[in-house]
Structure 1
Amino acid sequence: MAEDGTIDYSVHEAWNEATNVYLLVILVSFGLLIYARKNKRKIMRIFSVPPATETLPGNNFYDNIQKVRLRQQLEMYYISRKYDQQQNQSSADSTQLLME
C-alpha cells in the first residue's frame, strides 16, 4: 500500500508477467519433450558418432603397420637364414681344407 492508502499494482503486474513467462517456458518444454519422443531417431542422428567409413582409415593405418612389421620380420628371417647358410658353407669349406 502506498502512503495515501491506494494499492500499488506494479508488484501484481510484475508477478503476473513473471508467471506468464514461467507458464510459457513450461509449455515450450512440454512441447519439446513431446517432439523429442516422436522424433527420437532424428535427434539421436545429430548426436551420434559419424558412420564407420571415417573409422576405416584408422583401421587401415594399424593394418598397414602390422603388414610392415610382418614384412620386416620376414626380411630379417630371410637375412638370418642366408647368414646361417653362409656360415654352414664356410664351416664346410674349412673342414674340407683340414682334410686335405
Structure 2
Amino acid sequence: MGAPGEPQSIDYSVHEAWNEATNVYLLVILVSFGLLINKRKIMRIFTLPPAAESNPEPNFYDSLQKVRLRQQLEMYSLARKYDQQQHQGQADSVQLSME
C-alpha cells in the first residue's frame, strides 16, 4: 500500500464501484418516476374488470350465501312444523283430558 502505484488502482476500483452504484440508483429513480407517472395504467392491471363484463359463472361467495339462506329457511320451516305438531299434540291431550 505504501507504493505510489497502489492507491491509484484502489482509487480506480472505488471510482468504478461508485459509477456502478450511481447507475443503479439512477435506474431505480427513473423506474420509480416512470411508475408514478404511469400509476393509472399499472393500477388498471391489478384492479378487477368492470361490472359490465361480469363473469357468467356465479360468484362463490354469493352461492355460499344462498346455500346458507336456504339452510336457514329449511331449519325455520322444520321448526315451525315441529311447533305446530307440538301445539296440535297439546290440543289433542287437552281434548282427551276433557273427554
Task: Select the residue among 12, 16, 22 that pairs with 2:19.
Answer: 16
Write the deviation string for residues 39-74 of structure 1: whole angstroms up to 9, x where unpaired.
43332239xxxx882211221132022112211221
The 1-side partners of 2:86 and 2:66 are apart by 30
**Matched residue of 1:3: which SS?**
coil
Unaligned segments of structure 2, at least 5 residues: 50-54
What value does the CA root-mean-square deviation take over the aligned residues?
2.6
Instruction: State how many pairs are aligned.
Output: 89
Task: Map 1:7-86 onto structure 2 (within 5 A).
Answer: 7-8=8-9, 9-45=12-48, 53-86=59-92
Identity of aligned residues (%): 38
After TM superposition, the runs of 4+ consecutive aligned structure 1 residues lying more than 4 A away are none
The 2-side partners of 1:23 and 1:64 are apart by 60
Unaligned segments of structure 1, at least 5 residues: 94-100
TM-fit CA distance, 1:3: 1.7
Write the deviation string for residues 8-58 of structure 1: whole angstroms up to 9, x where unpaired.
311101111110111111111211222223443332239xxxx88221122
Taking structure 1 as the reference length, what is the TM-score of the superposition? 0.69
